Structure 1
């Protein structure tokens, strides 16, 4: 069964991408150089550490991958339950992510639960929030957004000017820039606040949730 994704405006996409970039920087700096969102990065680093015999560091990259897999499963189960009691699974997943990050920032969580937990909620986010208007994007990694942005930019100019494609390129460019800005903020804030820094992405997500509710 396909996931029913939420289509939102560019404001929400930017806020979600700020959070996505922040969380990757947070886990990399504060928790053993693992990525919250980028499973490609985790798999590459896992392989490199295994190749060099660094078993302890290699094991750190397993838990976010497990959290990612559980997030995909949870998104599927939420979708299956939609007709009964979960009318808007995307909003439910976003509320859960806000509560999880807010709790982790205030009370702290053992790393055993924190890293896969962040990967889990971030995966829910990327499973349910996939479109800004008609433009598809992902809020937790930026490679695809950046590639599509550059592609649309050139397509909007060659062979002739296409305003629709140029608009979509600008949207994806803004999302990519937001991810990078979120990572910068995550790097600066995490060094000062450590786990308490998670209140920042929680605030981004809360703002996104309020914007979604206001538009509904």
Structure 2
């Protein structure tokens, strides 16, 4: 590798690589599919939960409406935890957050038979929030690992810029990255839904494996850069 390539690799944070982004998006898709099929709520998309809350609330069906409150509250708690972790751990926040997410998902899998609502909706929304708040950039560009709306917008804007001849340097690659992230999320949702329907007790193993690879890549790259 050339000296310029080595410098570029060193400047790129280990948690901002395209590989990590794809793995996290895949895990995010798995978790949303799982919670929707099993619990009828979204782990990641709190916009949907908020809409359902007020749709059922305005219809007078408050028992059903309040079903969407716990994941929203758990997501808020996860954001606060992630903010504290970023402040306390600095560059290690991504690795520590990933480890916490893995442990939480393992705990959800263990407790799910005894406390399905608490373990499933609260635990997974907490995981989604921490992931969304800690992993915010891919190759320097802001993105989301737990929903595709913003990613899709940036991918389409990039394609339009290229087609209209007004693209800046790097636009093609950036648009491709966002498109790939959307695809990874969709693939995660598809495989997560399939596994949840076929072997629900093992469905959370899929995002756990993806997060384990993220953790290993973050730590390996950190060791290589340090050496």
- Shift of the 137–161 alpha-carbon distance from structure 1 to 2, 3 Å rule, reads closer
Q: How does 1:93-104 map to 2 (within 5 A)?
A: 93-104=97-108
Q: How does 1:62-81 map to 2 (within 5 A)?
A: 62-81=69-88
- Shift of the 72–30 alpha-carbon distance from structure 1 to 2, 3 Å rule, reads same
Q: How does 1:94-173 map to 2 (within 5 A)?
A: 94-108=98-112, 110=115, 111-160=117-166, 162=168, 164-173=170-179
Aligned length: 208
Mapped to 2, the partners of 1:81 and 1:161 lie a distance apart of 39
Say which SS state the counterpart of residue 61 (structure 1) adopts: helix
Say which SS state the counterpart of residue 129 (structure 2) adopts: helix
Q: Find the counterpart in structure 2 of residue 58 from structure 1.
A: 65
Whether 1:11 and 2:19 are equivalent positions in the alignment is yes
Cα-Cα RMSD: 1.8
The structure whose Rg is larger is 2
Q: How far did 1:121 drift?
A: 1.4
Mapped to 2, the partners of 1:53 and 1:200 lie a distance apart of 38
Mapped to 2, the partners of 1:95 and 1:189 lie a distance apart of 23
TM-score (norm 1): 0.89
Mapped to 1, the partners of 2:92 and 2:119 lie a distance apart of 27
Question: Which structure 2 residue ranges, 5 or more long, are not aligned?
Answer: 1-12, 223-227
Cα pair 2:158 2:167 within 8 Å, conserved: no
In the alignment, which of 22, 25, 28 is matched to residue 20 of structure 1?
28
Cα pair 2:35 2:120 within 8 Å, conserved: no
TM-score (norm 2): 0.85
Mapped to 2, the partners of 1:167 and 1:101 lie a distance apart of 33
More helix by share: 2
Mapped to 2, the partners of 1:76 and 1:14 lie a distance apart of 23
Q: How far did 1:80 drift?
A: 3.1
Mapped to 1, the partners of 2:69 and 2:31 lie a distance apart of 17
Question: Which structure 1 residue ranges, 5 or more long, are not aligned?
Answer: none
Say which SS state the counterpart of residue 88 (structure 1) adopts: helix
Q: How far did 1:113 drift?
A: 3.3
- Shift of the 185–67 alpha-carbon distance from structure 1 to 2, 3 Å rule, reads same
Mapped to 2, the partners of 1:6 and 1:168 lie a distance apart of 17
